[in-house]
Structure 1
């Protein structure tokens, strides 16, 4: 029997039923919304996307969706505190086009990184995380410098294992731990310097999306082309894309590079 949006709505009504929630269906947009009755905080689900996943993966797709929605609603309804949770605070890299305010209008804590990227701060809650806003800082009496120092310390404590691949005489290293902070490791200066010291040629680095950090030890001109194609591919496939532009890492600075086919990059 073919799954439809209406049938999926009925499944979600059953699976997400609860006295504290309210649900609604927008027939025009084919979306399903579930929110807390008291605060009206919630999330909107695009039903055709869920139907497509169901047709491909069956009940498992619904199980994962329900788990994700339940966890997100739980986090929305909790008062998070920073004090006592210092070990769970990490920096996250986002594109400069990423929102600087929450949907509720609260200003997110962030700082400039490069022309392409910005640093935000996340409170890790296990299965999910929450970006830290100014109201949370004020409540705790914390400064921007303090949260930045804590986040920087925690990113240095993470494991930096990588996989290596050699293409056309150039070495590529991929950090993909899938812990939500792969791209954030670009902020670990000691790790960056270690990779620089061990590179034979010019060291380039890329953060195409949240769940990968790519180092490229460029030893010939072809290396730039390979890196450009690789970064673009990862950027297009990423769940949270960041930037398709790689950077040259030199003197502890990141310079975006615009790679022209068969040529050395122009900065």
Structure 2
């Protein structure tokens, strides 16, 4: 299936009264909007086709599901009041939009050269990113949202699965609760993991539904984590970064794999 066929298939499945479709030929992006509010979202067709090549019908159903959920959320008014337990930080790429389509900035904080922190109101099957207009309407401060979100993050489970490759240990957190990558902000959890590490500690957040921690004990480990991170990045629903980070002294430093068994 090519992008033209995928565009037609998605439009057929998502067609409803009150929806408008537009296509950006240069970027190969399909946009789906509410005809009356002009709110909507855009999907990159080449990324969906790549997933379809691996997962066929499942890939299309996943996209349709997320688009439907997102459009339903956009059509409702949401309040933060009484929802403190449902506010969490989310990690996104620095290329992720800094504002909603209406021009309202999201509440966001710098994290690393590759990642940025946003804040979300969890709505069950989906979520809404918190913007400055919503804060103003609720009379909430940005600092209060940050405090509540970090507190809720620390309450999330951090059970890990372990795998050993070429003498290096890799730990995976994949609960699919939408905040797996967000655990990279749980400093207590990272410090606890650091105590278990025998070599160098590497952390990766290739997409929102996985956190990888590597105990790199030999040079081959850097190649392994680079290949692993790229694979997860290519297959994720919400990709973040294909780079991994060296965790040291409480800080995260991006690692660039220049070639086999080399890092800088």
Structure 2 Cα separation of the partners of residues 118 and 47 of structure 1: 24
| Residue 218 (structure 1) shift | 1.0
Structure 2 Cα separation of the partners of residues 224 and 8 of structure 1: 39
Give the equivalent residue in structure 2 for 1:191. Answer: 189
Distance 1:134 1:11, change over 3 A: closer
Structure 2 Cα separation of the partners of residues 41 and 201 of structure 1: 48
Tell me if structure 2 keeps the 8 A contact 1:95–1:243. yes
Distance 1:24 1:200, change over 3 A: closer
Give the equivalent residue in structure 2 for 1:91. Answer: 89
Tell me if structure 2 keeps the 8 A contact 1:206–1:245. yes
| Residue 45 (structure 1) shift | 7.2
* 5+ long unaligned stretches in structure 1: none
Distance 1:44 1:230, change over 3 A: closer
Larger Rg: 1
Tell me if structure 1 keeps the 8 A contact 2:11–2:21. no
| Residue 241 (structure 1) shift | 1.4
Tell me if structure 2 keeps the 8 A contact 1:170–1:223. yes
* 5+ long unaligned stretches in structure 2: none
Distance 1:227 1:78, change over 3 A: same
Structure 2 Cα separation of the partners of residues 221 and 47 of structure 1: 37
Structure 2 Cα separation of the partners of residues 168 and 191 of structure 1: 25
Which residues of 2 match residues 67-146 of structure 1 at below 5 A?
A: 67-146=65-144
Which residues of 2 match residues 7-22 of structure 1 at below 5 A?
A: 12-13=14-15, 16-17=16-17, 21-22=18-19
Structure 1 Cα separation of the partners of residues 63 and 69 of structure 2: 10
Number of paired residues? 254
Distance 1:167 1:95, change over 3 A: same
Which residues of 2 match residues 1-267 of structure 1 at below 5 A?
A: 12-13=14-15, 16-17=16-17, 21-23=18-20, 35-43=33-41, 56-57=56-57, 67-263=65-261, 265-266=263-264
| Residue 63 (structure 1) shift | 6.8
Tell me if structure 2 keeps the 8 A contact 1:204–1:215. yes
- Structure 1-normalised TM-score? 0.82
Distance 1:87 1:24, change over 3 A: same
Tell me if structure 2 keeps the 8 A contact 1:23–1:32. no
Structure 1 Cα separation of the partners of residues 106 and 68 of structure 2: 24
- Indicate the RMSD between aligned Cα atoms, in angstroms: 3.1
Distance 1:6 1:163, change over 3 A: closer
| Residue 156 (structure 1) shift | 0.7
| Residue 229 (structure 1) shift | 1.4
How far does the alpha carbon of each residue in 1:71-125 deviate from its partner, in whole angstroms, 9 at most, with x for none?
3232112111111111111111111111101111110110000111110011111
Tell me if structure 1 keeps the 8 A contact 2:33–2:41. yes
Structure 1 Cα separation of the partners of residues 68 and 154 of structure 2: 31
- Structure 2-normalised TM-score? 0.83
Structure 1 Cα separation of the partners of residues 62 and 260 of structure 2: 44
